[in-house]
Amino acid sequence: NKIACAHVRNVKYLGYRKFRESAHFSPDGDLDMFEIMKAFYDTGFNGYIRPDHGRMIWDEEGRPGYGLYDRALGLEYLTGLWEAIEKMDKLAKI
């Protein structure tokens, strides 16, 4: 009854059963990444959260879907959202 690991990413909706994986930043896709991370926080999630897949950017070469630079950017974005949510929660309790 517990989620152990979450692979979080944003996607761009292209039609019925069609989507494109996008950068994690909310405006780059159709999902509200802040609200997704807040839902994890609000429910007391204590498992692992990691960015899911990465695009090949900045002339990177490697296995498609596992771009290191894009995953690192995604991880930092998700970490920043988590920190902001934690701080908002602490301020709300003051």
pLDDT higher than 90, residue 15: yes
What is the distance between the alpha carbons of residues 20 and 30, in angstroms, rounded to a whole number?
10
- Mean pLDDT to the nearest integer, 63-92: 90
pLDDT at 89: 95
* CA pair distance 55, 65, nearest whole angstrom: 6
pLDDT band at residue 16 under the 50/70/90 scheme: very high
**Whole-prediction pTM value?**
0.86
Q: Which stretches of 24-90 are assigned E, i.e. beta strand?
A: 48-51
Distance from C-alpha of 33 to C-alpha of 82, rounded to nearest angstrom:
10
Closest CA to 47 of 10, 6, 79: 6
Question: Which residues is 69 bridged to in the sheet?
Answer: none
pLDDT tens, 72-81? 899 999 999 9
